[in-house]
Structure 1
Amino acid sequence: MKRIAVVGATGYVGGRLVSELLRQGFHVRAVARSVEKLRCRTYAASNGLEITQADVQNPAELLRALMGCASCYWLINETGPWEQSNRGLQAAAGNLLSTAKAAGLSRIVYLGPPKKSTPRVPQTDSHCGSAIDPGEILASGSVPLTWLRTAMIIGAGSASFEILRYLTERLPIMVAPRWIKTPVRPIAVSDVIRYLAECMRNEQTAGLHSDIGGPDLLTFRDLIDIYSDAAGLPRRFVLTLPVRAIVPSAYWINVVTPVPFNIARPVVEILDGAPSTEDDPIRRVLPISLTSVRDAVTTALQDLEQHEVESCWSDAGALRPPEWLMCGDAPFAGGDVMDCSYRILLDCSPRRVWQVLLTLGGDRGWYFGNALWKMRGFLDRLVGGVGLSRGRRSAQDLRTGDAVDFWRILLAEENSRLILLAEMKVPGEAVLQFSLRPRDGGCELIQVARFRPKGVWGLAYWYAMAPFHDYLFRGMLRSIARNSGCAVVHDPQPFCGGGEVCRLPDEWGKTG
């Protein structure tokens, strides 16, 4: 069977599509900026899978990643600041346009938002206009494009569903702009994956441009009622105002839900102007049985309850560890790096402690000083950060690339190391690491915070936080020991040289 490239394999849809294609027997080349995110997926050891690193903004890397593939799924979506992200999407699509033929692709399948009323641009254009959809750029090339468009995906972990979920659960009374009454046809994520997979099997879909939606035409107001019923909540009171309020809505979503402004804004833009047509040309080629919205919401809630969230909106994006964290760099690389290091000696195996480390963050909290963690998260949200509201993808396991509150997992080495990169608003770069070292009859648990300050405000921030580090680290280490069922041989003590255990391995990020 011919090899298929999935570009954007770490995203919400991409992660699920790779799994489904492998299940159906396809040979898949998963392409992403951060290969470490892919290596820890359940399907990473599959015989039919290749993992390739490439930045879609680099034409040479993209061409190398696509060479030898017959077809390509293009699943690149907004993950950065709005204006930069929009230009980046267009530039990335232009790179695919220029490399697809040279790579020998016979088909491209692209999943994007509903089509805007924008004229198609010729291939010679620079593709830098803010209104141009990447699909228009891809459609102007010589490689046949299957262009699927959807306004809202319902599934555990999708940005749209998380917005619906948190708004409904946290706000019994809402004042909402008019987009809340725009009719849309939400589609279950399982149906999206089926459409995408079947497109590759059916040659009649080559060159087809079509919306895809579920069987129900509903407003976001209707969805709030459906979610309330499925979750066993009282119906919410919603007052609708005759205003669009796109940007204020996105900021409000950033405050109330885990979804940040740069993700919320395109979601609201789509809901505000989504086409309500029920004529999907793809239905005449692929007449699959579609899932009702009520069933899709129920399934999503069950997945959340059972901790079976396969992928999440926060999975997307590159892992960019600070340069000073890489092995081989001099200790002074990138400037002065401050560190705060504590260790505790326990009478149990690293494995017992590791099981507790895997549950850090989210609803469980940080095992000590949770009020302080919540205060830090609240302050982060006030200045536009993600705060603690992202929680965790799963309460029971962690994998590289996972978001954990305002941290991102850089490395999760079983029974050995857990390195977290700070994604909160902070005047510098910060990492937090937990390390486990076997000792005679027990283990040593090490906790290290490292920080590279930016300017005088960064230094002021570090020294202002120093007293809290001492209090939190001692308390966290004792609490982790207690929850592990381990006796403390030596109490937590500060030590020098913690930065030496905070380096990423030489092979980190390499494709092998």
Structure 2
Amino acid sequence: MTELSGPTGEEPALHAVPRADGTPPRAVVIGATGYLGGRLTPRLLAAGYRVRVLARSAERVHAFPWGAQCEIVEGSADDGAALARACLDADVVYYLVHSMSGGKDFEAVDARAARTVASAATRSHVRRIVYLGALHPAHVDLSPHLRSRVEVGQIFLASPVPALVLQAGVVIGSGSASFEMIRHLTEVLPYMPAPRWVRNRIQPIAVRDVLYYLLAGARVPADLNIAVDIGGPDVLRYGQMMNGYAVEAGLPQRPIAPLPVLTPNLASLWVNLVTPVPRAIARPLIASLQNECVVKDHTIDEIIPPPGNGVTPYRRAVRLALGRIDADSVETSWVDAELGTSPSDPLPSDPDWAGRAVFTDRRSQRTTASAERLWSVIIGIGGRNGWYSSPLLWAIRGWFDRLSGGVGLQRGRRSVSSARVGDAIDFWRVEAIEEGHLLRLRAEMKVPGDAWLELSSSPAGEGACYQQRAIFFPRGLRGRLYWITVLPFHGLIFSGMATRITTTAEAEAQQR
């Protein structure tokens, strides 16, 4: 397992308390492949818990460094049969799921899933549910996403299983959507026209402190059933958060002009254009900033003592996040969240293509670089490394995708030099990796069909052979016309990729 930053779970105050018979308690994590779940799970293991995860794909879980140490139940949060298996003999259930980019009925979907989880936990005599909800003001009209998170917390509190609902505001950490929105808005814009909510007060919290409270939540008194606020020590305006980031990043302070005309919808469109955060995720984030979100009381301190050095100040949280990015050691990232609107079926095997319309583009290139050196270039493709050909054409395609409601090319990737199954790479998703040999990407851009891109490296004599295959299954006439339209551009893009990837591998080999 990779080295964990604090908290690691090995701290005495966070270590698992054995059952009466001396066996380790069992923790179930629902949402283990998400931003927080992917960080909480290895810390639960380090704390001495037996961990079982509920996930749609076992392969996705196995791609994590800690995946082999967990028991996996395949299914979703609204799958009663899968939840029954997941909750069997469990002591604590962590619920870390929320439909950030769900459809119009996401509130009903979230509520139904919460009730299904609560019912399964009740039947299995689970001792506790721990849920991360949202910090929110009382007695005001909330945005649909905030309202949904509050409702989920209320469902758990009303169930027979004691629940601890931790209500957090903006989470600051490497890879969090909130942090990435602040980071890119500050770095891209020397002057920030902003909605009036930039003057609202917010109480951000470092991701390490969220993890601390989640871990400690499994050890609170058995009969405790309560919702509590958690937050960092700083109460800031959103504009102050942006300029606090600027100081830590070595940037000049950004003048910010609040404008009354920027509604949440317009503001989310603006964020969609100037940051990697797509509108579907930006909208609920921005909607949650319409009201001041400040910790109302400190009951949490009576239940869980603060971390040893206290909760993390905002600027230190930014400094830690930037350090993880610079070291290319981001554990999890918002970019890797599954998109409900994106295709998820794997690439059919070649025999299954019989009788189906399919278009392919194949390229092959020999290189004097070793297969290992070639693979290091392949596995680092995308993000800040780019796509090794026609950057203008790639950028145009990314903007078209963004304007049509897709994720766009700016989404980037979690790590510069490594990837695992389920990772996002710009507007692709890693579907398969054969370490040292094959990288298969599934398209998540808006296209009238299903598309994949395969890149591979194989030893050949004293060098290596690079192979590249683009595969497109068109959807109706529109899909066929799309392929014909982009075919001339593919000639430029794909041939350039093959040439530049192999020459980059050769250049890196010579440097070494």
Q: Taking structure 1 as the reference length, what is the TM-score of the superposition?
A: 0.87
2:52 maps to 29
Q: In 2, Cα distance between the equivalents of 1:311 and 1:376? A: 27
1:170-223 Cα distance to aligned partner (Å, 9 max, x none): 111122112111111100000000010011123268312101100111110110
Does the aligned pair in 2 maintain the 1:151–1:271 contact within 8 Å? no
Distance apart, 1:51 and its partner CA: 2.8
Q: Taking structure 2 as the reference length, what is the TM-score of the superposition?
A: 0.87
Q: Which amino acid aligns with 2:388?
A: Y
2:413 to 388, 392, 406: 392
1:403 maps to 424
2:353 to 331, 334, 341: 331
Q: Residue 202 and residue 183 in structure 1: after superposition, are their counterparts in 2 closer, same or farther (change >3 A)?
A: same
1:345 maps to 366
2:64 to 29, 36, 41: 41
Whether 2:370 is the aligned partner of 1:312: answer no
Q: Secondary structure at the match of 1:392?
A: coil
Q: In 1, Cα distance between the equivalents of 2:62 and 2:139? A: 39
Q: In 2, Cα distance between the equivalents of 1:318 and 1:249? A: 21
1:352-384 Cα distance to aligned partner (Å, 9 max, x none): 211110110111111121221111112212222
Distance apart, 1:136 and its partner CA: 1.5
Q: Which amino acid aligns with 2:58?
A: V
2:182 maps to 164
Distance apart, 1:42 and its partner CA: 2.1
Whether 2:26 is the aligned partner of 1:8: answer no
Q: In 1, Cα distance between the equivalents of 2:442 and 2:118? A: 34
Q: In 1, Cα distance between the equivalents of 2:339 and 2:187? A: 31
2:389 maps to 368
Matches within 5 A, 1:423-434: 423-434=444-455
Q: Residue 374 and residue 58 in structure 1: after superposition, are their counterparts in 2 closer, same or farther (change >3 A)?
A: same
Runs of 5+ consecutive residues of structure 2 not aligned to the other structure: 1-23, 141-146
Q: In 2, Cα distance between the equivalents of 1:43 and 1:388? A: 29
Q: Which amino acid aligns with 1:218?
A: L
Whether 2:280 is the aligned partner of 1:259: answer no
Distance apart, 1:431 and its partner CA: 0.8
2:302 maps to 284
Q: In 1, Cα distance between the equivalents of 2:89 and 2:457? A: 42
Does the aligned pair in 1 maintain the 2:414–2:424 contact within 8 Å? yes
Does the aligned pair in 1 maintain the 2:378–2:456 contact within 8 Å? no
Q: Secondary structure at the match of 1:450?
A: strand
Q: Which amino acid aligns with 2:320?
A: T
Q: Which amino acid aligns with 1:70?
A: D
Distance apart, 1:83 and its partner CA: 2.1
Q: In 2, Cα distance between the equivalents of 1:155 and 1:329? A: 45
Q: In 1, Cα distance between the equivalents of 2:499 and 2:129? A: 54
2:321 to 294, 300, 323: 300
Q: Which amino acid aligns with 1:225?
A: N
Tell me whether 470-479 or 354-363 shows the greater mean CA deviation.
Answer: 470-479
Does the aligned pair in 1 maintain the 2:346–2:431 contact within 8 Å? no
**Number of aligned pairs?**
475
Q: Report the identity percentage.
A: 39
Q: Secondary structure at the match of 1:163?
A: helix
1:173 maps to 191
2:433 to 388, 412, 418: 412
Q: Which amino acid aligns with 1:185?
A: Q
Distance apart, 1:275 and its partner CA: 3.2
Does the aligned pair in 1 maintain the 2:110–2:148 contact within 8 Å? no
Does the aligned pair in 1 maintain the 2:162–2:222 contact within 8 Å? no
Distance apart, 1:155 and its partner CA: 0.4
1:119-168 Cα distance to aligned partner (Å, 9 max, x none): 9xxxxxxxxx9696211222221111110011110001101101101111
Once superposed, what is the RMSD of the aligned Cα atoms? Answer: 2.4
1:110 maps to 131
Q: Secondary structure at the match of 1:12?
A: coil
Does the aligned pair in 1 maintain the 2:194–2:258 contact within 8 Å? yes
Q: Secondary structure at the match of 2:178?
A: helix
Q: Which amino acid aligns with 1:228?
A: A
Does the aligned pair in 2 maintain the 1:146–1:207 contact within 8 Å? yes
Q: In 2, Cα distance between the equivalents of 1:372 and 1:441? A: 34
Does the aligned pair in 2 maintain the 1:342–1:446 contact within 8 Å? yes
Q: Which amino acid aligns with 1:214?
A: G
Runs of 5+ consecutive residues of structure 1 not aligned to the other structure: 120-128, 488-512
Tell me whether 225-234 or 24-33 shows the greater mean CA deviation.
Answer: 24-33
Q: Residue 240 and residue 486 in structure 1: after superposition, are their counterparts in 2 closer, same or farther (change >3 A)?
A: closer
Distance apart, 1:100 and its partner CA: 1.4
Distance apart, 1:475 and its partner CA: 1.7
Q: In 1, Cα distance between the equivalents of 2:150 and 2:315? A: 34
Q: In 2, Cα distance between the equivalents of 1:469 and 1:232? A: 40
Q: In 1, Cα distance between the equivalents of 2:261 and 2:493? A: 46
1:20 to 4, 21, 43: 43
1:60 maps to 81
Q: Secondary structure at the match of 2:287?
A: helix
Distance apart, 1:346 and its partner CA: 3.5
Distance apart, 1:323 and its partner CA: 4.3
Q: Secondary structure at the match of 2:43?
A: helix
2:208 maps to 190
Does the aligned pair in 1 maintain the 2:200–2:238 contact within 8 Å? yes
